[in-house]
A and B are shown apart, each in its own frame.
Chain A
Amino acid sequence: MIEAPADELEAAEGVRAANAPFDICGAGTRNFGRLGLAAMRLSTSRLTGIVFHEPAEMVVRARAGTPISEVEAALAAHNQMLPFEPMDPRVLFGTQGEPTVGGLVATALAGPRRLSAGAVRDNVLGVRLVNGRGEIVSAGGRVTKNVTGLDLVKITCGALGTLGLITEATFKLAPKPRAEATVVIRRLDDAQGVAAMTRALGSSYGVSGAALIHAGMGREFGRTLLRVEGFEDSVSYRAERLIALLADFGAKHALTGEDSNKMWRAIRDCAFLAEPRERAVWRASLKASDAPAALAALGARARASLLDHGGGTLWFSTDPTAGAAETARAALARFSGHAELIRAPADLRAQIDVFAPLSPALAKLTRGVKQSLDPRGLFNPGRMYADI
């Protein structure tokens, strides 16, 4: 077993030669998923570098071990960016090092702009993987419109490396907005806050961020935030219109420039829930209209919480115990959607399901897809589900 293959061919060879399961490691900045249990590891640390960046095509391809900061710097030189606003996982996970492209695709955690720009999977045009037979599989490509054959790109995103070793990923890009503005409304309760966000998101003003930060997280009052981005003239026009649209909720002013930007970085990174470090942090995906009732159902058990994506994503923290996890899951059970344990101490991640348990039909398909790509069960055993 080659622990850190120098290139894709060596990685494929290593997988073919492997006789025991292994954990795939990037920079180790996202301790997400169930606890890695394999005795061996395979590192992407030498699979680095941007393969190409074509500004006029708005596309970049990079190898799995490439630091995201390197990709973002190359894009910034052409006023471009990854559209989905990837989080800096070091803030929430309290880790060191440079988060990598492979980890980004494998965990697929998109930031606030997911609302308007789509999730990670919506912006990954292609991946190259080594499957469990040690074959190099190219899926998708470099063009935005591609329906050729069965799409193995999206199912790779967010699979936590359980389906194969990602060696390269190609991303669709977006122009960096020239300007941004954030309308801030203070002291709305959950129902009012969601109502304000829903009204804004139902407008034609192209809202690219909609979040609600509870009281006690940075301020003694709650804040509802709505962001617009684009060319300067358009941003100031739309911010004004949003303030008028939300006047009855108390919308009065908008933050701009760095004042706006730093709010969204904190939301993106879930910085408000980073401390205390020992708390378990969850992310639930819901219907926005259910968010106030879901928060009420969680009650005092979820001490700190943050609504992103207009209420469609609920971040909260609980005590790091199996009992608290079960109580939180039970409280959310009656709502459409699901909750994932994003950050927790190792013992809890070894003990409980990180993802909501699957129905028998979905479990069977999940097992089948895993088997079809990784018949010997080599990659990240048990990382997503205990027995898969």
Chain B
Amino acid sequence: MSQIAFPAPDPTILARADAIRAALMGLLPQECVVIDEAGRRAFETDALTAYRRMPLAVVLPRTTQEVAVALRFCREQGVAIVPRGAGTSLAGGAVPQEDAIVVGLSKMNRILELNYADRYARVEAGCTNLSISEGAASGGFFYAPDPSSQLACTIGGNIAMNSGGAHCLKYGVTSNHLLGVRLVTFEGEIVDFGGPALDPEGLDFLGLICGAEGQLGIVTEAYVRILPLPEGARPVLFGFDSAEDASRCVAAIIGAGIVPVAMEYMDKLAIEITENFAHAGYPLDVEAMLIVECEGSATEIEAELKRILDIAHAHGVRVVRESQTALEAAQIWKGRKSAFGATGRIADYICMDGTVPTSQLPEALRRVAAICAAEGLKVANVFHAGDGNMHPLILYNINDPEQQEKAERAGMAVLAMSVELGGCLTGEHGVGLEKRDLMTKQYSASELAQQKAVRAVFDPDGRFNPAKVFPLEAA
């Protein structure tokens, strides 16, 4: 029933499974190795829950040295490695396979240094995204990229997927905030790229590693930029009678030279689902809603909001709801950030992540609606409108194989559409397992071969996160 194929596990590895597990137990402290079935089951999938495979074993190293020991062992044994942070990948980036060892970074979760003078944090890869901002808050700083899963997801996973978030319209994505990494290579060698200085030396390997979906090595530590907290921030809700009006309003705001910190879009179904869950005060009688956030001093925010309001009125905004207190502002964001979770309470869903040029948003929304309607499925749209990164949530019933197939077919059609309209398959979630077979829609055979040739420099045997990112037949 599942449409995404896994390669057949290597029988020679499976035949040695017990010996490999026993050897691991001898190699690393007991608390760092999971071999029993119940323990391994916790690692068989990630947030792409429709796909699961039991890993051969799981190692949870406490230090970079232990990661190196594990990777040297995997190399000797010819075993594949699936790196894992918190397992929040929506693209199946951390789904293991039966002949692979999961290397989880969850025990490496310390903030090693907070340097406010040079404005960076040195952190272990298993730190959660939010913990960096929490750690830096007392110094008046924060870590900018803010994926919705920031409470759980790790910085190592963020680096692997080059994660974004609602506020990257102004602040950029993970790669724009990464100063250095410590990477353990397939040979178990520990290599540092970049560091606390502003620019790395030589070729921009950081740019290659960030977003490589764990296929170049395992990142165990990182230097990330931290930024001073803004004086204040205020989100405002704008309700429109049509998706078209809302989309044109977004383009007009940007065209007027205003770059708010965030511009988030929700359609009627998404508003209903989230409002029932978060009680954020979202308007229920509109077709489309924008959350626009401005930052700065009270007067700066006033001035920017006035400019935005003028544009919104020119585009037929019907409801304007300004947050009056910090609590109201928090509620507005709580609603947006819990949109995926709230949807998960009423149905199973797959979350798409294509990006389209912002000028194509109205067309893209029309086509998404048509594609899902043709399969008889409901779709809720929640996305980052400022940068065209769409997140249609296609609702289905996971226990109905036919529905799953329809949902996946609709999802794939939506992604193909994103590429067709001049965008890309994935804006911030990564290709992972989920979109692997669609890569030929975006890249030619020689482009894929070129990417793989660069990957092979780091991992000639293709043992890091196999069967992800690149289509199998070409692998």
Contacts and interface: CB of A to CB of B under 8 A. Distances in A.
A304 B442 CA distance: 50
Nearest to B189: A361
B229 A312 contact: no
A175 B258 contact: yes
A285 B201 CA distance: 9
Given A204-B230, A365-B458, A143 B387 contact: yes
Nearest to A174: B259
B33 to A, nearest CB: 28
B389 A145 contact: yes
A203 interface: yes
Interface string B432-464: 000100010011101110111111111000000
A356 B201 contact: yes
Interface string A274-300: 000000000001111100000000000
Interface string B354-385: 01111100000000000000000000000010
B455 A150 contact: yes
A141 interface: yes
The CB with the most chain B CB atoms within 10 A, among A137, A145, A356, A358, is that of: A145
B387 A158 contact: no
Contacts, number: 243
A149 B203 contact: no
A335 B231 CA distance: 34
B10 interface: no
A157 interface: yes
The CB with the most chain B CB atoms within 10 A, among A136, A147, A356, A358, is that of: A147
A231 B252 CA distance: 17
A153 interface: yes
Interface in A316-358: 336-338, 355-356, 358
A337 B195 CA distance: 7
Given A147-B162, A175-B259, A337-B197, A122 B175 contact: yes
Interface residues of A, number: 79
Contact of A285 (B199, B251, B303): B199
A142 B423 CA distance: 7
A380 B453 CA distance: 20
B431 interface: yes
A331 to B, nearest CB: 16
B208 A198 contact: no
Interface in A187-220: 198, 201-204, 206
Given A145-B384, A147-B426, A338-B201, A372 B162 contact: no
Contacts of B357: 54, 57, 59, 142-143
Contacts of B119: 201-202
Contact of A147 (B115, B161, B189): B161
Given A150-B469, A237-B300, A143 B197 contact: no
A368 B191 CA distance: 15
Nearest to A124: B207
Contact of A146 (B196, B252, B427, B456): B427
B164 interface: yes
B172 interface: yes
B451 A336 contact: no
Contacts of A4: none
Interface string B255-284: 101110000000000000000000000000
A222 B452 CA distance: 51
A145 B296 contact: no
A174 B444 CA distance: 31
Contacts of A373: 450, 453-454
Contacts of B458: 365, 368
B422 A145 contact: no
Interface in B289-311: 296-297, 299-300, 303-304
A149 B451 contact: yes
B454 A148 contact: no
The CB with the most chain A CB atoms within 10 A, among B195, B231, B424, is that of: B424
A155 interface: yes
Contact of A203 (B162, B164, B228, B456): B228
A385 B215 CA distance: 27
A373 B455 CA distance: 11
A233 B300 CA distance: 8
A270 interface: no
Interface size class of B (residues with CB under 8 A): 35 or more
B99 interface: no
The CB with the most chain B CB atoms within 10 A, among A159, A201, A372, A384, is that of: A372
Interface string B195-213: 1111101111111101110
Contact of A155 (B204, B389, B447): B204
A198 B117 contact: yes
B450 A145 contact: no
A115 B67 CA distance: 34
Contacts of A285: 197-199, 201
A122 to B, nearest CB: 5
B235 interface: no
B204 A288 contact: no
A138 B118 contact: no
A38 interface: no
B153 interface: no
Interface string B207-249: 1101110010000000000001111000000000000000000
B383 to A, nearest CB: 10
A294 to B, nearest CB: 11
A42 to B, nearest CB: 20
B355 A145 contact: yes
Contact of B254 (A57, A176, A286, A368): A57
Interface in B381-405: 384, 387-389
B150 to A, nearest CB: 16
Interface in A91-149: 114, 118-119, 121-122, 131, 133, 135-139, 141-149
B425 A148 contact: yes
Contacts of A198: 117
Contacts of B135: none
A58 interface: yes
B457 A202 contact: no
A150 B208 CA distance: 7
Interface in A224-274: 231, 233-234, 237
A118 B198 CA distance: 10
B429 A202 contact: no
Interface string A45-64: 00000000011111100000
Contact of B447 (A137, A178, A231): A137
Contacts of B439: 148-149
A152 interface: yes
A373 to B, nearest CB: 7
Contact of B303 (A121, A176, A233): A233
Q: For the complex of A and B, list the 7 residue pairs with the smallest distance between their C-beta atoms, beginning with the closest.
A: A154-B207, A175-B257, A337-B197, A368-B457, A145-B427, A312-B198, A372-B453
27 contacts: A57-B254, A58-B254, A121-B207, A137-B450, A139-B447, A145-B164, A146-B355, A146-B424, A146-B427, A147-B427, A147-B430, A149-B469, A157-B207, A158-B203, A163-B203, A202-B116, A204-B140, A204-B229, A231-B303, A237-B300, A289-B115, A289-B117, A361-B191, A362-B191, A362-B201, A372-B450, A373-B453
Interface of A: 54-59, 79-80, 114, 118-119, 121-122, 131, 133, 135-139, 141-155, 157-159, 163, 174-176, 178, 198, 201-204, 206, 231, 233-234, 237, 285-289, 309, 312-313, 336-338, 355-356, 358-359, 361-362, 365-366, 368-369, 371-373, 384-385
Given A118-B176, A362-B191, A368-B457, 14 more contacts: A55-B255, A114-B198, A139-B447, A149-B451, A151-B208, A198-B117, A201-B228, A204-B231, A287-B196, A312-B118, A312-B198, A337-B195, A365-B191, A372-B456
